[in-house]
Amino acid sequence: MAARGTAQRPNGAVQGKICQFKLVLLGESAVGKSSLVLRFVKGQFHEYQESTIGAAFLTQTVCLDDTTVKFEIWDTAGQERYHSLAPMYYRGAQAAIVVYDITNQDTFGRAKTWVKELQRQASPNIVIALAGNKADLSSKRMVEYEDAQSYSEDNGLLFMETSAKTAMNVNDIFLAIAKKLPKSDNASAGPAVGRQPRGVDLRETNEPHQGGCCK
């Protein structure tokens, strides 16, 4: 799904770039996917965040130098049987955050499975970040920082330990993703957005990977 200009450029006047990216959150149940999003989008945290059924949609904008990056965020359900719906949500996504809980080894294993699936089935140039969430609970840590870091290096992932509760690294991980996403101009990115395909076709070519996003 391409991030083509939602910015109005009536006379082609140059403004700061506006880029729009689809980002999906994946990971085992109760690792804190929704909490990370809630912290990032609303700056809030609830000890008991409603479990996500199906998926939830939110948006947030970050600024990088002269570029405004608009994230279209799909926060998915973690229970295994919702797995069959996941392709609907990561299809056409330019970025993914795969989340695990540092106090639960199983969730790290599950995260690796998600990474594999994304590498195999999502857009070829998808930017994947691994988030070791609940870093505030380091006294109960079961997943070593170094293990996750070396796994991330081997697989070309961005990696941070995060805490939705304390806000540690939450904005940072989204910013790091925003920085890594291609933002070069795309000649084909005109204001006529309406009828462009919007990344629901698995086989659709993903312009931003070739040309970057809009201006």
Rule CB under 8 A: which residues touch another protein? 6, 20, 29-30, 46, 48-59, 70, 72, 74, 77, 79, 81-82, 84-85, 87-89, 112, 115-116, 119-120, 151, 154-155, 193-200
**Which CB sits closer to another protein, 98 or 169?**
98
For residue 201, the one-letter residue type is D
Closest approach, Cβ 50 to another protein, in A, equals 6
Q: From CA 110, how far away is CA 19, in angstroms rounded?
A: 31
Answer for the pair 102, 70: CB distance below 8 angstroms, yes or no.
no
**Which CB sits closer to another protein, 140 or 172?**
140
Q: From CA 143, how far away is CA 162, in angstroms rounded?
A: 13
Closest approach, Cβ 139 to another protein, in A, equals 21
**Which CB sits closer to another protein, 71 or 169?**
71
Q: From CA 35, how far away is CA 27, in angstroms rounded?
A: 12
Closest approach, Cβ 170 to another protein, in A, equals 20
**Which CB sits closer to another protein, 115 or 178?**
115
**Which CB sits closer to another protein, 50 or 65?**
50
CA neighbor of 177 nearest in space, from 2, 21, 50: 21
Closest approach, Cβ 175 to another protein, in A, equals 20
Closest approach, Cβ 142 to another protein, in A, equals 16
**Which CB sits closer to another protein, 40 or 74?**
74
Q: From CA 137, how far away is CA 11, in angstroms rounded?
A: 53
Answer for the pair 98, 111: CB distance below 8 angstroms, yes or no.
yes
In angstroms, the Cα distances linking 73 to 40, 158, 174, 189, 204 are 11, 18, 11, 22, 20
- Token pair, residue 177, equals 């993703």
Closest approach, Cβ 55 to another protein, in A, equals 6
